[in-house]
Amino acid sequence: MDTKREAVELSAEAIKLLLECGTKVDDIYRRFRELRLRTDDLSFQAALLNVEHSFFMVVQSINILKENIKLLDVAAKKEEPG
């Protein structure tokens, strides 16, 4: 069983999904931000800001995951010494 090849194939599938998901998350994040900027209710603004922050954290997590997948691809291409 070639686990390295399987990991690279799964990585490509994951990156595609993460790009699609990231684009959708970014769009929703922007819409929540627009709502926050249009509201005058300060407590509701705070709640919207918390939602924005949560979306930001999701995007950061997606970016970290993409970077780790790239590192996995590099590791899969390395030959074992010996």
> What percent of the chain has a predicted confidence (pLDDT) above 70?
98
DSSP 8-state secondary structure symbol assigned to residue 78? S
- pLDDT for the residue numbered 44: 97
Handedness of CA 19, 21, 31, 44 (dihedral sign): negative
Tokens of 40: 């005058």
The domain locations on the chain are 3-76
In the chain, which stretches have pLDDT less than 50?
none
32 near 48, Cβ under 8 Å?
A: yes
- pLDDT for the residue numbered 66: 94
